[in-house]
Amino acid sequence: MRDVLFLPLTDGRELAIAADGSAAVGEKPGDAVYAPAETVAYFAARVALMELLSVGAEASAVILQNFVADDRWEALCRGIERACHELSLRLPVTGSTESNFSTVQSALGVMAVGTVAAERKRIGVTPEGAKFAVIGARSSARLCWRILNGSRRFRCLLSFSPLRLFMSSFRSVPKAFTTNGCSCWPPTAAKGGLAPARCRFLPLAARRRRF
């Protein structure tokens, strides 16, 4: 579920790199799905940053590969900055634009770069029998486009879990383990692993919060 590259640095730390991209989604006539450039960049940055943070890394910078157009650079950067803002991050953005040739379809790549202590990497420790929770409505780019052009204009965007919920869960899960008498958390906490299904949590209704 996470595809992060780790490269050794010094003093037990590693460089962590996560990436995401999109193609044929944008504002060009040849695109399969229409979406503002800022929105496309936001969701690409969202994926890359969430993957980076989920392995325990500290984000340091974002790299943008712009194959849309030179005049869309600022809009793409705004989308990236929006994702960073929702995660309470202030990151420098650099990258490159294909300005020698025009394209008939939009394309972009977003890379999130950070560092992590080798012993704190949250990978390869999910036990057999672990269960996963999926938040948000199942959807697709084409469905989003149909909804955005209909009367339910913002329904699609609201079906995605907000990044503040991701960060809140990211920070509160360790506390949930310890406060609910979960005996398996200490061995996995050092590496950030997920809890086996036998661990106990409070019922959702008892801990309901507004996000």
Tens of pLDDT, residue by residue over 26-35, are 999 999 988 9
Banded model confidence at residue 196, pLDDT cuts 50, 70, 90:
very low
Cα–Cα dist 83/40, whole Å: 11
In a domain, residue 160? The reply is no
Banded model confidence at residue 152, pLDDT cuts 50, 70, 90:
very low
pLDDT over 90 (residue 64) = yes
The answer to which of 58-72, 98-112, 172-186 has the lowest mean pLDDT is 172-186
In a domain, residue 85? The reply is yes
In a domain, residue 211? The reply is no
* Number of compact structural domains in the chain: 1
Q: Look at the block and give the residue holding tokens 């949590």.
A: 201
**Which amino acid, residue 95?**
G
pLDDT at 6: 97
Banded model confidence at residue 191, pLDDT cuts 50, 70, 90:
very low
Tens of pLDDT, residue by residue over 102-147, are 999 999 999 999 999 999 898 877 778 877 776 666 555 555 555 4
pLDDT over 80 (residue 14) = yes
Q: What is the CATH number of the domain that holds 91?
A: 3.30.1330.10
**Which amino acid, residue 145?**
W
The answer to which of 73-87, 97-111, 176-190 has the lowest mean pLDDT is 176-190
With beta carbons less than 8 A apart as the criterion, state whether 44 and 20 touch.
yes
pLDDT over 70 (residue 81) = yes
Q: Which domain holds residue 62?
A: 1-118
pLDDT over 80 (residue 198) = no
In a domain, residue 183? The reply is no
Q: Look at the block and give the residue holding tokens 């672990």.
A: 130
pLDDT at 4: 95
Mean pLDDT, the chain, whole residue set: 77
> Looking at per-residue confidence, does 99 or 182 come out higher?
99
Average pLDDT score over residue span 160-189: 57
In a domain, residue 133? The reply is no
Cα–Cα dist 79/74, whole Å: 9
In a domain, residue 166? The reply is no
- pTM for the model: 0.73
pLDDT at 118: 94
In a domain, residue 31? The reply is yes
In a domain, residue 1? The reply is yes
pLDDT at 137: 60
How far from each other are the two terminal CA atoms of the chain, in whole angstroms? Answer: 24
